[in-house]
Every structure is written in structure tokens, then in C-alpha cells.
Structure 1
Amino acid sequence: MSRRIVAFFASSFLSVAMSIPASAVEADGVVIEVNEESEQLQLSDGQVYDLPKNFDYAAVSPGMPVHVIYHLSQGQNVYPFTA
């Protein structure tokens, strides 16, 4: 039974990893500001990321460490990554 569980998690991980195209960029940092009006997230390194319209702002708060996967669109950092 435990081998099946391990195999399930391994296949799930590979499925998710394969769904992120090579052009995606990743960043780590601490949230400095979450601005609902401008729909942007700023990290401690000064980078600003545009958030989607349906983003759950209650899930992120200043001081929280985050890992962002995004892509560059017309010179802006856009989250989440969309092909």
C-alpha cells in the first residue's frame, strides 16, 4: 500500500513539474506590500508582480516568505504563469 502512495505522489509531482513551461521564471522573497487597488505584489528585492483579477488577497500578507512563478509580458512581471 505504501508503495502505491509513493508512486502516486511521484507521478503527481512529475505532472505538475511538466506543466510549467521552460519560459517561466521563479523568484523567492518576502512580501513587502500587497496592493489590491493596483493588483500588485511587491517583494523585498523591489520587484513588483501583477496579480490576476481573481487573486485571493487574504492568502498573502506583508512579511510572509513566498515563491513566485511568473513570466515577462510586455516588460512586466505577470503572475501566475500563463503560456
Structure 2
Amino acid sequence: MQVAALTMNAPAQADAPLAQDRLEQAFLEEMLKYCNLQKGKDDFSGGYGEEHFSSFLTREYAARLSARLDLGLGELR
């Protein structure tokens, strides 16, 4: 039996988002929160569950938008 040496450094992932991509995603997420996109008025909208899980949907919308858009926040220094 062989035991591999343990290291504290995690292997770098090829598809790990850069800091500027995460910043753009966070910016877009806050803008989408401000717009209140999920506020529906039909019979199946509202309630505690929708309020609780709407942040996940907003985060996913922001991730998809930031993947398609380049806001140029990484060039600000």
C-alpha cells in the first residue's frame, strides 16, 4: 500500500473563476436584487420558500450574465 504525501496546497482548477469575474458577478447580483425580478403576482408566487430561495436564482442569473458580459471591472485599479 502506498500513501501519497499530503500537501496543504489545493490543485489549481482550470475553470476556476478569476477575482475580477467574481467581482463582476457580485456586482450584477446586487443590481439584480435591486431590480426585484422575481416578484410575481400570480397564485403560485410568494411565501416563505420563495423569499428564502430567490437569492439562489438571483445568484445564478448573475453568474450567467457575468459569463456573457465583460463589464471591465478588472481593469479598474
TM-score when normalising by structure 2: 0.28
TM-score when normalising by structure 1: 0.26
Larger radius of gyration: 2
Point out which structure has higher relative CO (alpha carbons under 8 A, 6+ apart).
Answer: 2
More strand by percentage:
1
More helix by percentage:
2
